[in-house]
Structure 1
């Protein structure tokens, strides 16, 4: 299973709550998590639809930049 990581501006529990329905719809519940303790606020996405995660985050009003 492929894993992608994105640097985001999702910085708190309320932000995570806002993006949750968008990410659950795009990549599925349990296939993503945000590390708000990391300075880069890293979103980790598992699965083939990782590219859809970026669009879902942006649709929720946040930024996501693929990390190399």
Structure 2
């Protein structure tokens, strides 16, 4: 499976939020690297890897955050 870059709008809005989501995304199979741009009003989460949108959305929601794909 080819690695892709996916972007999502979230409500992960500070360093503490990023730290709390870290274990969820770090342990998700198929995630190579990820980051959250907390300076962007949309709080954009960018994920590189082979994990599906559904898998990424599930772990972010499990961590207690809102997420939706950016087109």
**Equivalent pairs, count:** 67
Structure with larger Rg: 2
Structure having the larger proportion of residues in helix: 1
Task: Show structure 1 runs of 4+ deviating over 3 A.
Answer: none
With normalisation by structure 1, the TM-score equals 0.90
Aligned residue number for residue 24 of structure 1: 26
Structure having the larger proportion of residues in strand: 2
Aligned residue number for residue 45 of structure 1: 47
Compute the RMSD of aligned alpha carbons: 1.3
Map Cα deviations across residues 11-47 of structure 1 (whole Å, 9 max, x no partner): 000100110000101144x511000000100000001
